[in-house]
A = this chain, B = another copy of it.
Amino acid sequence: PGKKILIVYAHQEPKSFNGSLLKIAVEELTKQGCSVTVSDLYAMQFEPRATRNDIVEAFNYGVETWEAYKRGGLSKDLVEEQKKVQEADLLIFQFPLFWFNMPAILKGWMDRVLVQGFAYDLSKAYDGGLLQGKLSLFSFTTGGSQEMYSKEAISGDIRYILWPMQHGIMHFCGVKVLEPHICYAPESVSEEKRKEMLTAWTQRLRTLWKEKPIDCSPEWYFK
């Protein structure tokens, strides 16, 4: 309802299941009257490496990007992404889980876009982070089944994997976190089941605005 949403999308193939989830989110949220922006990282050929090209001078990446941010000296692709983040009420991250984590191209977005001074600052972190007032939602697909990501199974509770992303990044920047949206093993299930998953995503998006953020404490993750 007039809300602005940024979807950061990290899959190479529009015809993939992640591509379908993206399409649904764009359509459904637009239908709700939201304004949706998509950062399609592979299509943008987004640079994931945090290199000295991001700034014009000598080199300690964290310190230098912080200084460059204050002077308005960051590279154009970063300034553009920061503007999208600044304007958004909700950030959706859509990706396939690679190695218990986000793909490198999306990790590069985190490393390069969320610089000190913009997303957090000295003593402005966690509940005091600079991106307060925004929501985030991690929407991803897995290779393994839901059973493989339970506390008793070898891969452990899926929430263990969410700690660095949700707590270490979003909560650190002051962004509230909605329940993750996880599609388990879409490549291994029936076509019917895949359709159900897509429908479930649409349904969730319809009532998204009534959701309460999770309690971002160690108990949520490790209890």
Contacts and interface: CB of A to CB of B under 8 A. Distances in A.
Interface in A22-67: 42, 45-46, 48-52, 59-62
A187 B122 CA distance: 14
Contacts of A103: 50, 107, 111
Copies in the complex: 2
A156 B160 contact: no
B160 A16 contact: no
A110 interface: yes
A154 interface: yes
B163 A156 contact: yes
A23 to B, nearest CB: 17
Contacts of A112: 104
A62 B143 contact: yes
Nearest to A171: B154
A163 to B, nearest CB: 5
